[in-house]
Structure 1
Amino acid sequence: MRKKWMSGVLTMALSTVLVLSGCSSNESGENTPAPAEGNDPPTEAVAQDTMIMGRGGDSVALDPAIVTDGESLKIGHQVFDSLLDYKEGGTEVVPGLAESWEISADGLKYVFKLKSGVKFHDGTDFNAEAVVFNFNRWGDPASEYKFEGDSFDYYDSMFGPEDGRVIKEVKATDETTVEFTLNQPQAPFLQNIAMTPFGIASPTAIQEKKENFKSEPVGTGPFVFKEWKRNDSITLEKNADYWKEGLPKLNKVIVRSIPDNTARFNALQNGEIDVMEDLNPDDLSILEGNSELQKIERPPFNVAYIGFNFKKKPFDNVKVRQALNHAVNKQAIIDAFFAGQAEPAVNPMPPTLWGYNDTIEDYPYDLEKAKALLAEAGFPDGLPDPVTFYAMPVSRPYMPDGKKVAEAIQADFEKIGVTTNIESPEWATYLDDAKAGEKDDIYMLGWTGDNGDPDNFLYTLLDKDAIPGNNRSFYVNEELHVLLTDAQKEIDQEKRAELYKQAQAIIKEDAPWIPLVHTTPILAGKSNLKGFVPSPLGSESYAGAYFE
């Protein structure tokens, strides 16, 4: 709905009231005189109450527990609440559905006191038993509510695989108290609990909808799911009974999928959408010159990378991986495609995150060194067979145009005798293929931090426990595994930081990736959009957004 349309409706309604008044009698039997022409009382402007968001790709599923892609989690952020939350615009943990918590001295027991009076969108009561139901569903491989094709990759990544679970038991001690017992201390436990994949779902809805829950989500969040038109739009409506007083401020949110960045920006300029993600860096000057629009910067907290599939030869050979690291001109890519909104990536985590190892030097762009390493690996004339190179089909905050960047890398690889065939299947298929590791030899992906902890980059993406899951390279290093699991158990942050620095040194030498860039993602919106606060974690609540 637009302001002009709403004002027109009010004017028509007011005119109708006046006409009807003129046809009725007052107490004295006189007709009420019609207002003089041109003297209609002014109508009060009505603020726009629907926000249309434009993004680069559709969701894969709407149950946040079974996905790992950011597009799905953006919707999950609106429909679900987690026990804890992050401070607006940052990564500090604050209360969510749990209003307080206590931690035992040994770090093995967490007791959460829950908010009372909260209901799921279907009217089911939120309580401690609902929390237990959700965590048991995620943690039990034999759960009857783990439906065909589903996997709880985030749970496995953050709380350990089946044979090494961090969480031992979750139990309700009363209606509003839930107790977690751990098998071992986990330093980022609270940071993990706050993540969107661990949003609490209605047990009733899961039991009734079963497999359909992934497309008909029910949570306690500020917006209620209404409709999903695949590859087009998702419609959410205000949760009138939301437990946060005064929120949400909008009555409706429509999230549209517009894959092409330029088409998305044109839609914003034409008034078809109100806010958009992933502005083309080349369009920044146009945005800044338009007084009816505003630039919105997301705090940088990401990494884009090229991953090597260790299941495919010769990428199990470290010299081949190091050679290709030397063959990518990162600065040229940044200059050509990022318009100054990125910096070269050296490590698999951003330099703004504590524990970053700034003593590590990048593989310099050196084609002769790359050729020499290939020769040492047994390929003096380059690789004999074409390499299947998966390039992202959608824009992401860390990668505005995956295909064009892939073409630039393809040209560099060609100079050292490595021929690539670029493939870009649709987004859901792309993610499934990369997870299976059967079709791609190398692949392009990226990651926006979920919770403000180095564990969420290093362990989540590169530890052996994340196979199958977010470790799409199928990279295994036992020494690295020990460091990362020790860092999870260590409470002292300085000691944890040292462990993570050692881990980054191992990863640099093994070269499972080519870290490409860290970006400052740019969003754009109408100038009268207020209360929209971008999160460094890649998705934010729309509850506080409104239009002046």
Structure 2
Amino acid sequence: MRRSSLSVAVILALVASIVLSACTRPDTGSPTEGGTLNIGVTTRPDGLDPITVAGAGTPFVLLYNVYETLVKVDSDANIKPLLATEWTVSDDSLVYTFTLDPGAKFASGAPLDAEAVVANFERNRGETATAQIRDKWGPVDTIEAVDPATVEVTLTRPSHAWLYDLSGPMGIVADPAAFATINTTPAGSGPYTFGEWEEGSYIRLASNDAYWGTPGRFTDVYFRYYSDPNAMNAAMLSGQLDIISNLTVPQSIEQFRDESRYTIHEGTTTGEVVLGFNHGSAPLQDLKVRQAINHAIDRQTLVDAVWAGIGPLIGSHVPPTDPWYEDLSQAYPYDPAKARELLKEAGHETGLTLRLRVPVLPYAPPSARFIAEQLGEVGIDVVVEELEWGRWLEQVYANHDYDMTIVAHVEPRDMTAFSFEGNYWGYDNPDYNRLLEEADASLTEDEQVAKLKEAARLLSDDAAADWLFLLPSIIITTPDISGVQVNQISLSFDLTMLAKG
């Protein structure tokens, strides 16, 4: 089969642009600068294996820092080389051939060769992986080591999304010798190694002195966890932190306006804050009830009240940074009278009670209280329950024990969150699934964009959820920190570009 370099059409379909020749590691040649970096974080991991553990807390710390991938997404959504120096795609868009960097090796000193990549990819799509990660491997047929430096992946059908997704947790390459213990002791090839995990308190990463690329700039990096965002702000104000990874009390931003002490980096994220519905809950199986809830909530007032008015309304599971974004924020304008009318038509004029179970994350409880009050005004009694993150993952995400919930979905390009089998919303719409499949296998970028816009509109018409707003990225640093990625559009808090001094 003849191979060709990645065509412009395929490039555009995968991402806004792909730069095959650029290197994502700092190209300064400078040695490790040393010192300690302290980063304030809110979302704790529930385990340290991104393949078997759901949630964004794990890749936030480990992706690109400890674990690397063949390709990497930068803050502008460009796909760039990382462990692979280059790749080609066959004319029929089914066969991807990756050439590995000859210098790549694991922190243990073991070679990072094609056999190691194949072992990881087979594990990553295996039965122990989360359902969402297995779903992303769906288009793949075979994975083969052609020679020590070459990996060949054959798809069953063309897929626009697959290479982009490979830059995330589904594509991590861990040291195969450590597979049995990586949920507690991560082992990868990145510029940092795992140091220690004090659950609920911090994760420490240490500089990988034998790193095969440009080393990290810090001897130790601490990701320090705060359940109270005001406590994290206080730690920053008192000099205990160098970085707040995302300011989760935007009302407090004025505390950091002193440019001699702080730098404020404002950008965007892929974090759709979603009022999710359990479609297995009898009342929420009724479209009119879901539409009524959408009409009953004044989303702009909610953002003003709980997030200082910072964060755009979007109305869909698509952030503005994706090519198929459409502003659907007014599909269900605030209209309590319409909400009461729909509830009456659905037979729920009075007496409807719903459980709103939310994780104890900064945006969720305040939003829940606001929503409970507004739904109460149209006749829905809302019982709010706040759960620690681990309990939320177990009871809501895994066991589907809820009526409504609120969570920020930060995974990039994750419209499949509503299509994969066993999704925690219990949403199953064959027309939606078909549109995603047709978009992924489409021949042109224009066709892909059109199909995904149609899918997003279908979700909106079906009131599959209520998309409240998009989380902004507000990173606070001391003035001596450089290399911050302002737009947080991957799941990684990427340390590779950060420096201090």
TM-score after normalising by structure 1: 0.82
- The equivalent residue for 1:342 is 311
- Indicate how the Cα distance of structure 1 residues 238 and 489 shifts in structure 2: closer, same or farther if over 3 A, else same: same
Deviation at 1:414, TM superposition (A): 0.7
- The equivalent residue for 1:86 is 73
Q: Is 1:59 matched up with 2:28?
A: no
Aligned residue among 453, 457, 471 for 2:414: 457
Deviation at 1:437, TM superposition (A): 4.3
Alignment of 1:186-335 (within 5 A): 186-206=159-179, 210=180, 212-245=181-214, 247-279=215-247, 280-289=249-258, 291-335=260-304
Render the CA deviation track for 1:219-274: whole Å, top value 9, x for unaligned: 001100010000001111001121223x2111110111011111101101111111
Determine the C-alpha separation between the residues in 2 that align with 1:430 and 1:358. 30
Deviation at 1:447, TM superposition (A): 1.6
- Indicate how the Cα distance of structure 1 residues 491 and 195 shifts in structure 2: closer, same or farther if over 3 A, else same: farther
Range with bigger deviation, 429-438 or 262-271: 429-438
Contact 2:400/2:424, CA 8 A, preserved across alignment: no
Letter in 1 for 2:323: W
Letter in 2 for 1:391: V
Contact 1:76/1:196, CA 8 A, preserved across alignment: no
Render the CA deviation track for 1:140-160: whole Å, top value 9, x for unaligned: 33xxxx3xxxx3334223222
Deviation at 1:408, TM superposition (A): 0.4
Secondary structure of 1:103's aligned partner = strand
Contact 1:235/1:252, CA 8 A, preserved across alignment: yes
Letter in 1 for 2:131: D
- The equivalent residue for 1:419 is 381
- The equivalent residue for 1:136 is 122
Aligned residue among 65, 68, 72 for 2:54: 68
- The equivalent residue for 2:5 is none
More helix by share: 1
Deviation at 1:360, TM superposition (A): 7.5
Determine the C-alpha separation between the residues in 2 that align with 1:311 and 1:185. 33
Deviation at 1:313, TM superposition (A): 1.1
Aligned residue among 421, 432, 445 for 1:467: 421
Render the CA deviation track for 1:40-91: whole Å, top value 9, x for unaligned: xxxxxx976210111113211111112332211112211100010123x221
Deviation at 1:382, TM superposition (A): 4.4
Secondary structure of 1:390's aligned partner = strand
Letter in 2 for 1:519: L
Range with bigger deviation, 103-112 or 287-296: 287-296
Contact 2:316/2:328, CA 8 A, preserved across alignment: no
- The equivalent residue for 2:480 is 528
- Indicate how the Cα distance of structure 1 residues 373 and 437 shifts in structure 2: closer, same or farther if over 3 A, else same: farther
- Indicate how the Cα distance of structure 1 residues 252 and 298 shifts in structure 2: closer, same or farther if over 3 A, else same: farther
Q: Is 1:158 matched up with 2:136?
A: yes
Determine the C-alpha separation between the residues in 2 that align with 1:94 and 1:349. 23
Determine the C-alpha separation between the residues in 2 that align with 1:393 and 1:179. 43
- The equivalent residue for 2:156 is 183
Secondary structure of 1:60's aligned partner = coil
- The equivalent residue for 1:495 is 447
Deviation at 1:131, TM superposition (A): 0.7
Q: Identity of paired residues, percent? A: 27
- Indicate how the Cα distance of structure 1 residues 194 and 118 shifts in structure 2: closer, same or farther if over 3 A, else same: same
- The equivalent residue for 2:355 is 388
Gaps of 5+ in 1: 1-45, 161-165, 396-400, 451-455
Contact 1:281/1:339, CA 8 A, preserved across alignment: yes
Contact 2:273/2:469, CA 8 A, preserved across alignment: yes
- Indicate how the Cα distance of structure 1 residues 418 and 360 shifts in structure 2: closer, same or farther if over 3 A, else same: closer
- The equivalent residue for 2:26 is none
Determine the C-alpha separation between the residues in 2 that align with 1:352 and 1:314. 34
- The equivalent residue for 1:96 is 82
- Indicate how the Cα distance of structure 1 residues 264 and 197 shifts in structure 2: closer, same or farther if over 3 A, else same: farther
- The equivalent residue for 2:403 is 441
- Indicate how the Cα distance of structure 1 residues 123 and 70 shifts in structure 2: closer, same or farther if over 3 A, else same: same
Determine the C-alpha separation between the residues in 1 that align with 2:409 and 2:329. 20
Determine the C-alpha separation between the residues in 2 that align with 1:297 and 1:545. 16
- Indicate how the Cα distance of structure 1 residues 314 and 545 shifts in structure 2: closer, same or farther if over 3 A, else same: same
Deviation at 1:278, TM superposition (A): 2.8
Render the CA deviation track for 1:335-373: whole Å, top value 9, x for unaligned: 112223112221121233211234774201111111110
Determine the C-alpha separation between the residues in 1 that align with 2:289 and 2:399. 18
Render the CA deviation track for 1:250-304: whole Å, top value 9, x for unaligned: 1110111011111101101111111112321111111113521111223333311
Letter in 1 for 2:66: V
Determine the C-alpha separation between the residues in 2 that align with 1:411 and 1:486. 41
Letter in 1 for 2:151: V
- The equivalent residue for 2:28 is none
Alignment of 1:16-31 (within 5 A): none
Deviation at 1:379, TM superposition (A): 1.3
Letter in 2 for 1:457: D
Deviation at 1:123, TM superposition (A): 2.2
Q: Is 1:404 matched up with 2:377?
A: no
Contact 1:345/1:517, CA 8 A, preserved across alignment: yes
Letter in 1 for 2:135: S
Matched length = 467
Determine the C-alpha separation between the residues in 1 that align with 2:157 and 2:130. 21
Render the CA deviation track for 1:322-346: whole Å, top value 9, x for unaligned: 1111111111111112223112221
Letter in 1 for 2:45: S
Q: Where in structure 1 do 4 or more consecutive aligned residues deviate above 4 Å?
A: none
Range with bigger deviation, 65-74 or 125-134: 65-74
Aligned residue among 87, 106, 112 for 1:120: 106
Deviation at 1:519, TM superposition (A): 2.8
More strand by share: 2
Contact 2:37/2:221, CA 8 A, preserved across alignment: yes
Secondary structure of 2:459's aligned partner = helix
Determine the C-alpha separation between the residues in 2 that align with 1:375 and 1:271. 56
The structure having more radius of gyration, on CA atoms, is 1
Contact 2:435/2:451, CA 8 A, preserved across alignment: yes
Aligned residue among 27, 36, 45 for 1:50: 36
Q: Is 1:366 matched up with 2:366?
A: no
Secondary structure of 1:314's aligned partner = helix
- Indicate how the Cα distance of structure 1 residues 349 and 84 shifts in structure 2: closer, same or farther if over 3 A, else same: same
TM-score after normalising by structure 2: 0.90
